A and B are shown apart, each in its own frame.
Chain A
């Protein structure tokens, strides 16, 4: 494989953004017909490198060779023309179009001046059968599951004759079953003569699905190696540049008395449809209760009801025995509740505000005397939080917008855990974070547990739930369909519950 001319060779690619060298003389090769995993922390330069390849960014220096021939990729049109396609982390689909329309959009089959719907459907059906990407061509995007939408995105690239498919973190939105199907699709793509680059954070995926792997760290290539020669621990070390503890240290005191309790809570979603149905949960002191489940099964509403931004239609919310069902967000927070919201960019942070402002968002009143902020205390407090939680920023009073995703989450975690809360609701707390940042968040959750805090952990990442939780509840269609002790739970059992089937079926 190494002797053949690589399909793509990116040579000495450099790209600087203000304050960061995103790519530092990266040389990266992908052989024809392989599945190449590109891994590294957030901010390691993976996405930037791929955006350069796809013509979304211009490199400051370096050359790109396509099948040995030097090429200038100045726009996505150039990239598509060469046969390069990319599926972004956030899908770029129009909800009201059908699958067939989405796939053919921009290069529609025509009959005269009209859209040839029948042929578009046939094309989608044929491509789907060939690559194992079954999608109902007549279904509207809005009706499709996330996994199916991803298939539409991949079909779009195949319809445009892409030879090289770049998938940016394709598995983050999928259920375990859908992930397995995606691996199958990747193998079919390769069997049909395509080449795949996929960006990921997850080592298990690299090992399961790739032929070769390239690790980036801080904008440089750490190494490229055949996957069969790689081990999870070895890769992790390359990624973070240090050894990872094999297992997260758990244990400690057995859980204490109940701290956080939801009692027969029902709630409606934004459309007024039932989203939570008579949910009863209890988290004790020194315990992490994990809520697993495919997104869209009531997780969002559960977090909102517990935080106090959504009123339940019935049921009670208790914190440390105190009924806070009618209490607003501020009152709940005063009572010792902390929240790491699902979306740090909208719910967790105000990007135009400074880091300092973001750090004091839940305690600015405590830092004020008669309505006037004690600036000395504000500065000291935020500086202490930044130090303690290792928020890396040039200055506390720069806009939060300037920070990377991992550092932004550190700001949220610092704010929420800095005050040593009695209970924490953590919604997808490591989503989109690199390994080092995710590990940091995990350690913080475990520390909170150790000191007797109650943690309600809602996550779509089964590995995360299994690694951290003492008990695991599975949320499906707004109900808790099963509760298992973490020690006894298996991925298969959880996967079935998440899919709405009972564990014994």
Chain B
């Protein structure tokens, strides 16, 4: 008799991502060796400046916080086979909504103001997804195209808001007024800017995991993502699930924006995101569209970014190394994505 060890599927899946990440490190090492640098020393230093010491670790987690949000936002959609590329747009709208609550309802206590700001941010992101979500669900309009395009609409709209209606006179850069002190998230480990948003997103991780594995919506989206034809034949209400998934993804994307506004910037700054929403795609793919995987992937990416920023100070390694590593990771995960997903898409939801 063979004994079967029951192992959750994501263990093997994450194993593949580990290989991807390692491959990126190897390629980065080859580049360094080829240019006559000390690869081993660079990685040792990178690890040290990313993880060793409370402040280093705090900065890594600070960099990871928005990435965990956007990774989760993307993962729930991708898990359902819905390719929402609009998390960046949701993040901007969510950020502005949180800022608006923060600088408008200034009389409220923190215990009310902060949850309200997060909620408003989530709703703004979800509302934004209503458009491509409904188009995809009921008219089968390709969500990749619509969400990519609508990102520009969302970003430009927030840019308009802080340049005109909510422009602060006397400031050179376009930004909203500062949010009330009560709306500012407490710092966890000063002087690092690491703040309560990390705790929020760390609570969100098990919540998303629970949603995916223990709820009917989670079941439906897993069925849809793993085999849309099967989902349809089983009686899964495919259009409704697609719409709900888009709204959920937008909601989490909106929270990402709130985290940055309430925890780091204390105001909405025009064009503030360096592409957190798009990073979510890399993270979701690297994390195999699971909650835990997204967390791990986001922390790794956060470590590269935060460690990379200080790496140059210690060793003779340009921080372009980080770009090479990121690009390699993106290359590998996209290659796999392109090779496996279009087939499913083609099998298609009708």
Please tell me which stretch of B1-9, B97-105, B115-123, B328-336 contacts chain A, meaning at least 4 of its Cβ atoms lie within 8 angstroms of it: B1-9
Chain A residues whose CB sits within 8 angstroms of the CB of B214 once the complex forms: 372-373, 375
Cβ A330 vs Cβ B233 within 8 A: no
- 8 Å CB interface, A363-412 against B: 364-365, 368, 371-373, 375, 394-395, 397-399
Q: Does B215 contact A (CB under 8 A)?
A: yes
Q: A365-B216, A372-B214, A373-B216 are in contact. Are A350 and B223 (CB under 8 A)?
A: yes
Contact mask for chain B residues 6-20; partner A; CB cutoff 8 A; 1 contact, 0 none:
100100000000000
Chain B residues whose CB sits within 8 angstroms of the CB of A352 once the complex forms: 9, 226-227
Q: Does A307 contact B (CB under 8 A)?
A: yes
Give chain A's interface residue range (CB within 8 Å of chain B).
35 or more
- 8 Å CB interface, A337-361 against B: 339, 341, 346-354, 357, 360-361
| Docked complex Cα distance between A347 and B228 (Å) | 9
| Docked complex Cα distance between A395 and B232 (Å) | 26
Q: Does B234 contact A (CB under 8 A)?
A: yes
Cβ A362 vs Cβ B219 within 8 A: no
Contact mask for chain A residues 312-342; partner B; CB cutoff 8 A; 1 contact, 0 none:
0000000000000000111011000001010
Q: Does B235 contact A (CB under 8 A)?
A: yes
Cβ A357 vs Cβ B223 within 8 A: yes
Q: Does A249 contact B (CB under 8 A)?
A: no
Min CB distance A157 to B, Å, is 30
Min CB distance A305 to B, Å, is 13
- 8 Å CB interface, B193-234 against A: 214-217, 219-220, 222-223, 226-227, 229-234
Chain A residues whose CB sits within 8 angstroms of the CB of B236 once the complex forms: 330, 361
Cβ A350 vs Cβ B216 within 8 A: no
Chain B residues whose CB sits within 8 angstroms of the CB of A333 once the complex forms: 235
Cβ B233 vs Cβ A341 within 8 A: yes
Closest to A270 in B: B350
Q: Does B52 contact A (CB under 8 A)?
A: no
Q: A394-B6, A398-B4 are in contact. Are A347 and B216 (CB under 8 A)?
A: no
Min CB distance B241 to A, Å, is 11
Min CB distance A429 to B, Å, is 14
Chain A residues whose CB sits within 8 angstroms of the CB of B229 once the complex forms: 346-347
Q: Does B347 contact A (CB under 8 A)?
A: yes
Q: Does A244 contact B (CB under 8 A)?
A: no
Min CB distance A268 to B, Å, is 14
Closest to B217 in A: A371
Cβ B4 vs Cβ A19 within 8 A: yes
Cβ A362 vs Cβ B237 within 8 A: no
Contact mask for chain B residues 170-214; partner A; CB cutoff 8 A; 1 contact, 0 none:
000000000000000000000000000000000000000000001
Quick one: which of B219, B222, B235 contacts A329, CB cutoff 8 A?
B235
Closest to B224 in A: A350
Chain B residues whose CB sits within 8 angstroms of the CB of A348 once the complex forms: 230, 233
Q: Count how many chain B residues have C-beta atoms less than 8 Å from C-beta atoms of the other chain.
A: 24
Chain B residues whose CB sits within 8 angstroms of the CB of A395 once the complex forms: 4, 6
| Docked complex Cα distance between A375 and B219 (Å) | 12
Q: Does A71 contact B (CB under 8 A)?
A: no
Min CB distance B38 to A, Å, is 43
Q: A350-B223, A394-B6 are in contact. Are A328 and B237 (CB under 8 A)?
A: yes
Contact mask for chain A residues 145-184; partner B; CB cutoff 8 A; 1 contact, 0 none:
0000000000000000000000000000000000000000
| Docked complex Cα distance between A329 and B237 (Å) | 8
| Docked complex Cα distance between A357 and B232 (Å) | 15
Q: Does A129 contact B (CB under 8 A)?
A: no
Q: A346-B347, A375-B214 are in contact. Are A351 and B227 (CB under 8 A)?
A: yes
Closest to B2 in A: A19
Chain A residues whose CB sits within 8 angstroms of the CB of B237 once the complex forms: 328, 330
Cβ A373 vs Cβ B219 within 8 A: yes
Min CB distance B336 to A, Å, is 15
Cβ B222 vs Cβ A357 within 8 A: yes
Cβ A350 vs Cβ B235 within 8 A: no
The A interface is mostly helix, strand or loop, or mixed, namely loop
Q: Does A309 contact B (CB under 8 A)?
A: yes
| Docked complex Cα distance between A337 and B216 (Å) | 21
Chain A residues whose CB sits within 8 angstroms of the CB of B220 once the complex forms: 364
Chain A residues whose CB sits within 8 angstroms of the CB of B347 once the complex forms: 346
Min CB distance A197 to B, Å, is 30
Quick one: which of A347, A353, A371 contacts B215, CB cutoff 8 A?
A371
| Docked complex Cα distance between A365 and B20 (Å) | 38
Quick one: which of A361, A365, A394 contacts B230, CB cutoff 8 A?
A361
Contact mask for chain B residues 315-350; partner A; CB cutoff 8 A; 1 contact, 0 none:
000000000000000000000000000000001000
Min CB distance B227 to A, Å, is 4
- 8 Å CB interface, B254-308 against A: none
Chain B residues whose CB sits within 8 angstroms of the CB of A375 once the complex forms: 214
Closest to B232 in A: A309
Closest to B12 in A: A399
Closest to A397 in B: B6
Cβ B226 vs Cβ A373 within 8 A: no
Min CB distance A93 to B, Å, is 21
Chain B residues whose CB sits within 8 angstroms of the CB of A360 once the complex forms: 219
Quick one: which of A328, A361, A373 contacts B223, CB cutoff 8 A?
A361
Cβ A353 vs Cβ B223 within 8 A: yes
| Docked complex Cα distance between A347 and B233 (Å) | 6
Chain B residues whose CB sits within 8 angstroms of the CB of A397 once the complex forms: 6
Min CB distance A424 to B, Å, is 14
Closest to A344 in B: B230
| Docked complex Cα distance between A372 and B347 (Å) | 29
Chain A residues whose CB sits within 8 angstroms of the CB of B219 once the complex forms: 357, 360, 364, 373
Chain B residues whose CB sits within 8 angstroms of the CB of A307 once the complex forms: 233
Closest to A346 in B: B229
Q: A329-B235, A368-B216, A394-B6 are in contact. List 18 more A-B contacts (CB 8 A).
A: A328-B237, A330-B237, A350-B226, A350-B231, A351-B227, A353-B223, A357-B219, A357-B222, A357-B223, A360-B219, A361-B234, A361-B236, A368-B215, A371-B215, A372-B215, A373-B214, A373-B219, A394-B4
Q: Which 8 A-B pairs have the closest CB atoms?
A: A330-B235, A394-B4, A350-B227, A361-B234, A329-B235, A352-B226, A350-B230, A347-B233
A–B pairs, 15, beta carbons within 8 Å = A329-B232, A329-B234, A346-B227, A347-B230, A350-B226, A353-B222, A354-B9, A360-B219, A361-B230, A362-B235, A364-B216, A365-B216, A371-B217, A375-B214, A395-B6
